[in-house]
């Protein structure tokens, strides 16, 4: 446990220095980013080494490399700086028109392809200096139950890597603020004139050649599990990592694919695709907007959370699939 002497030697600026040197792997570039002289950087590193009782960074011909101790403390230091930044931002007044903040949103491509364009359009007017960083949400699927597929994003929110997630999750721990938006259904897409469109029965569905969207490379998804429960199976000819690639593949072949209904409605015509109801009930995927409750005191994050919710509600949901209030 740190004593008063240790705390008196601690300085948040030293933690920021550590963060930048670790990112740059070069003392000179770190100094340029921090607008500090070489002597100031050297002095700060000496204080850090004394404070943490480790060399932290070792010189190489191309810069510096972190020691094992530096890598060990990197995540705790990043968490400390994230919390401090959030605390400072939370007490500052937030004015969308003049704010120049950057928010990080994580979503699967089927979701972001629909709600991001109208969100960006709205921000251009309401908050012209705000920027967005969008991360493709990557699920955990291999070897695990399907209900765990999207849960890794919660750890990313906890770590401060993501501000807001738009995810098919309806059961999250109490530390998260979740707004239920809709329950999405899937449809089958194919090129115009495809024989399946004439008779979209379950029997014919199983005889078709399929594209499966599989972020992790699994060759079985929820539909396959549902079919297996009925004693049925389908032939997955191709797996792709996102829905955009699936739409493109279907447009140029005899393949068919199951995609979210609203994505098919909004993006399908661009690829010359038609759709039919999925001939087997796989349930409806819940779509939620999620952020950490602890940081919702941040007026800027609260404002952006509401903008994302509005974009999802208005531009993603089908009229018949909204959740009840």
Residue 324, pLDDT score: 36
Given a contact cutoff of 8 angstroms between Cβ atoms, the answer to whether 205 and 280 are in contact is yes
pLDDT of residue 38: 85
Residue 260 and residue 110 in contact, taking contact as beta carbons nearer than 8 Å: yes
pLDDT at 302: 92
pLDDT at position 140 is: 58
Distance CA 142, CA 214 (A): 10
What are residue 290's DSSP bridge partners? Answer: 165, 178
DSSP 143: T
- According to the model, what pLDDT value does residue 124 have? 96
pLDDT of the residue at 106: 93
The CATH code of the domain at 102-181+288-321 is 3.40.190.10
Beta bridge partners of 269: none
pLDDT score at 205: 97
- Please report the pLDDT score of residue 299 as a whole number: 87
- pLDDT for 232: 96
Q: Where in the chain is the domain with CATH 3.40.190.10?
A: 102-181+288-321, 186-277
In angstroms, the Cα distances linking 275 to 127, 233, 254, 278 are: 37, 21, 14, 9
**Structurally, what CATH architecture does the domain formed by 4-91 represent?**
Orthogonal Bundle (1.10)
Successive 10-residue mean pLDDT values, the chain, 325 residues: 49 86 90 87 91 92 92 86 69 84 89 88 96 82 53 81 88 89 87 94 97 86 91 96 93 95 89 95 84 83 94 63 37
pTM of the predicted structure, to 2 decimals: 0.65
> How far apart (Å, rounded) are the C-alpha atoms in residues 56 and 72?
10
CA distance 122 to 185: 27
Q: Measuring CA to CA, which residue among 293, 244, 300, 298 is closest to residue 273?
A: 244
In contact, 289 and 164? CB cutoff 8 Å:
yes
Q: Going by DSSP bridges, is the β-strand pair 186-191/256-260 parallel, antiparallel, or unpaired?
A: antiparallel
pLDDT in the model for residue 257:
97
CATH topology for the 186-277 domain: D-Maltodextrin-Binding Protein; domain 2 (3.40.190)
What DSSP string runs through 53-86? TS--EEEETTEEEE-HHHHHHHHHHHHHHHHHHH
Tell me where in the chain the CATH 1.10.10.10 domain(s) lie. Answer: 4-91
**What local confidence, expressed as pLDDT, does residue 91 receive?**
59
């Amino acid at each position: 446990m740190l004593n008063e002497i240790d705390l008196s030697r601690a300085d948040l600026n030293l933690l920021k220095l550590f963060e930048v040197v670790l990112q740059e792997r070069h003392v000179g570039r770190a100094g340029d980013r921090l607008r500090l002289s070489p002597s100031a950087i050297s002095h700060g590193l000496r204080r850090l080494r004394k404070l943490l009782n480790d060399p932290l960074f070792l010189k190489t011909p191309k810069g510096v490399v972190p020691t094992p101790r530096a890598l060990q403390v990197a995540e705790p230091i990043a968490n400390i700086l994230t919390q401090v930044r959030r605390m400072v931002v939370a007490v500052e007044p937030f004015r969308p028109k003049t704010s120049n903040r950057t928010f990080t949103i994580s979503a699967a491509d089927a979701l972001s392809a629909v709600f991001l364009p109208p969100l960006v359009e709205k921000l251009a007017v309401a908050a012209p200096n705000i920027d967005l960083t969008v991360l493709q949400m990557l699920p955990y699927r291999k070897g695990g139950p399907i209900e765990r597929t999207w849960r890794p994003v919660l750890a990313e929110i906890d770590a401060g890597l993501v501000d807001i997630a738009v995810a098919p999750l309806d059961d999250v721990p109490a530390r998260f603020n979740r707004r239920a938006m809709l329950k999405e259904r899937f449809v089958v897409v194919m090129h115009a004139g495809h024989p399946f469109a004439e008779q979209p029965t379950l029997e014919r569905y199983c005889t078709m050649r399929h594209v499966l969207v599989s972020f992790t490379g699994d060759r079985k998804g929820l539909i396959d599990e549902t079919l297996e429960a009925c004693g049925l199976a389908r032939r997955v000819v191709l797996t792709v990592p996102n829905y955009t690639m699936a739409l493109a593949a279907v447009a140029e072949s005899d393949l068919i694919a199951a995609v979210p209904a609203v994505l098919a409605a909004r993006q399908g015509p661009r690829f010359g695709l038609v759709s039919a109801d999925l001939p087997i009930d796989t349930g409806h995927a819940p779509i939620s907007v999620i952020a950490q409750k602890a940081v919702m005191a941040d007026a800027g994050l609260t404002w952006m959370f509401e903008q994302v919710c509005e974009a999802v509600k208005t531009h993603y949901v089908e009229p018949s699939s909204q959740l009840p209030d």
